[in-house]
C-alpha cells in the first residue's frame, strides 16, 4: 500500500539531532533511516525565512519533503500563552499572530499544512473554568481568521484534538469534536490531524477516530499508547493500517514519539530503527493477506471483523 512516513524534528531533537544546529547531518540521518519527509516544529522566532529555505533545500537534496509545520501550543513548550480559545482578545489575537507566522514558515519550507490545537496556558483538569460554548466561539473565530490567512498563501490547516490533561476538558478532546468545528468553520482548506496517542485516550477507538476524520483527515501523528515507538504499547496497528488502506489514505504518518523514559538509547531506536521497520512489516503482512484472500470474495480479511473497529 506504500504509506508515507514523516519524522517530527522534535523527535529527532530528543536524541540530540537538532536540525537547526546541524541541518545537513540531521536530515541525512532521517533520510538514511527511511523517512519520506520531516515535520518541522513551529518556531518562527528562530527559523528565519532564510534558514527555512536552506532547510528545505537540504531536505530536497536527500529526497525528503517537508510534510507539515507543527504548532507549539503547549505552555510547557514555549513558556508563553498561545491560546486560540482565550476570551481575552489580546491573548487570542497573539495566538492567531503566532499561527500566521507559522503559515509564513510553511511557505518558506514548502510545507503544505500547519496544525492547530486549543491549549490553555494553565491546566484545566478536571473541568474547564470557561464554559464550553465560549471556548468554541473563541476558537472558531480564531480558526476562521487563520484559515483566511492560510488560504491566501495556499496552505492547509489541520485541527488536532488533544486530551483533557493537555487541552480543555470537554472541548476539542475527540476527533468528532474537531470534525464538528471544521464543519462549522466551513473553509475548504481546513481539516483534522489525528494523533494516535491522543485519540487512544479520548476517542471511542483509534480506528473509529480515523474513520470519523475520513476525507477531512490530513496527517496522522504516529506513536503508541505510551507515546513511545509503535509496537511498544497497546494500540492495534494492524487494524490501523488496514483502516488506512480501506480509506486509500494518501497523506503522511508523522512519527512524534515523546516517551516518559529519558533513556536516549531506547528513544534513538524508536526514532531511527524500530518504528519504521515495525510499520513496514505490518504493511507487508497486510499485502500478503490481501493476496491470499483476493480470490475469496466470500471471506473478509481477518482484521475486518467488526470487533476490531
Binding site for Mn ion (CB under 5 A): 195, 221
What grid cell was written down for 275?
A: 518504528
State the first-to-last Cα distance of the chain, in angstroms, to the nearest integer: 20
Burial of 201 (0-12, 13-18, 19+ CB in 10 A): middle
Q: Which is nearer to Mn ion, 232 or 286 (CB)?
A: 232
Q: Closest approach of Cβ 162 to Mn ion, in Å?
A: 8
Q: Closest approach of Cβ 88 to Mn ion, in Å?
A: 26
Q: Which is nearer to Mn ion, 253 or 286 (CB)?
A: 253
Q: Closest approach of Cβ 149 to Mn ion, in Å?
A: 22
Q: Closest approach of Cβ 115 to Mn ion, in Å?
A: 7
Q: Closest approach of Cβ 188 to Mn ion, in Å?
A: 23
Q: Which is nearer to Mn ion, 164 or 221 (CB)?
A: 221
Q: Which is nearer to Mn ion, 108 or 221 (CB)?
A: 221
Q: Which is nearer to Mn ion, 68 or 286 (CB)?
A: 68
Q: Which is nearer to Mn ion, 41 or 128 (CB)?
A: 41
C-alpha angle 47-106-9 in degrees, rounded to nearest 5: 60
Q: Which is nearer to Mn ion, 36 or 160 (CB)?
A: 160
Q: Closest approach of Cβ 8 to Mn ion, in Å?
A: 8
Q: Closest approach of Cβ 34 to Mn ion, in Å?
A: 21
Amino acid at each position: 500500500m506504500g504509506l508515507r512516513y514523516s519524522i517530527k524534528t522534535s523527535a529527532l531533537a530528543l536524541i540530540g539531532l537538532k536540525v537547526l544546529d546541524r541541518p545537513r547531518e540531521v536530515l541525512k540521518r532521517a533520510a538514511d533511516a527511511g523517512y519520506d519527509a520531516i515535520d518541522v516544529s513551529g518556531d518562527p522566532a528562530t527559523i528565519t525565512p532564510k534558514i527555512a529555505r536552506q532547510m528545505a533545500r537540504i531536505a530536497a537534496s536527500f529526497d525528503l519533503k517537508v510534510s507539515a509545520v507543527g504548532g507549539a501550543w503547549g505552555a510547557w513548550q514555549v513558556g508563553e500563552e498561545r491560546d486560540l480559545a482565550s476570551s481575552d482578545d489580546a491573548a487570542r489575537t497573539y495566538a492567531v499572530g503566532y499561527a500566521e507566522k507559522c503559515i509564513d514558515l510553511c511557505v518558506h519550507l514548502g510545507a503544505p499544512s500547519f496544525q492547530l490545537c486549543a491549549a490553555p496556558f494553565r491546566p484545566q483538569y478536571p473541568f474547564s473554568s470557561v464554559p464550553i460554548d465560549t471556548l468554541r466561539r473563541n476558537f472558531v473565530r480564531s480558526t476562521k481568521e487563520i484559515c483566511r490567512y492560510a488560504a491566501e498563501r495556499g496552505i492547509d490547516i489541520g485541527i488536532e484534538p488533544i486530551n483533557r490533561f493537555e487541552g480543555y476538558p470537554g472541548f476539542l478532546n475527540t476527533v468528532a469534536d474537531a470534525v464538528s468545528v471544521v464543519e462549522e468553520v466551513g473553509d475548504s482548506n481546513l481539516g483534522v490531524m489525528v494523533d494516535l496517542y491522543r485519540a487512544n485516550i479520548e476517542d471511542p477507538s483509534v480506528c473509529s477516530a480515523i474513520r470519523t476524520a475520513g476525507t477531512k483527515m490530513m496527517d496522522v501523528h504516529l506513536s503508541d499508547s505510551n507515546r513511545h515507538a509503535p509496537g511498544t504499547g497497546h494500540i492495534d496497528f494492524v487494524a490501523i493500517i488496514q483502516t488506512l488502506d480501506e480509506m486509500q489514505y494518501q497523506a503522511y504518518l508523522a512519527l512524534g514519539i515523546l516517551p516518559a523514559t529519558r533513556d536516549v538509547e531506547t528513544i534513538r531506536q524508536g526514532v531511527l530503527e524500530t518504528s519504521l521497520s515495525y510499520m513496514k512489516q505490518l504493511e507487508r503482512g497486510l499485502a500478503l493477506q490481501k493476496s491470499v484472500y483476493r480470490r475469496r470474495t466470500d471471506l473478509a480479511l481477518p482484521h475486518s471483523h467488526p470487533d476490531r473497529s
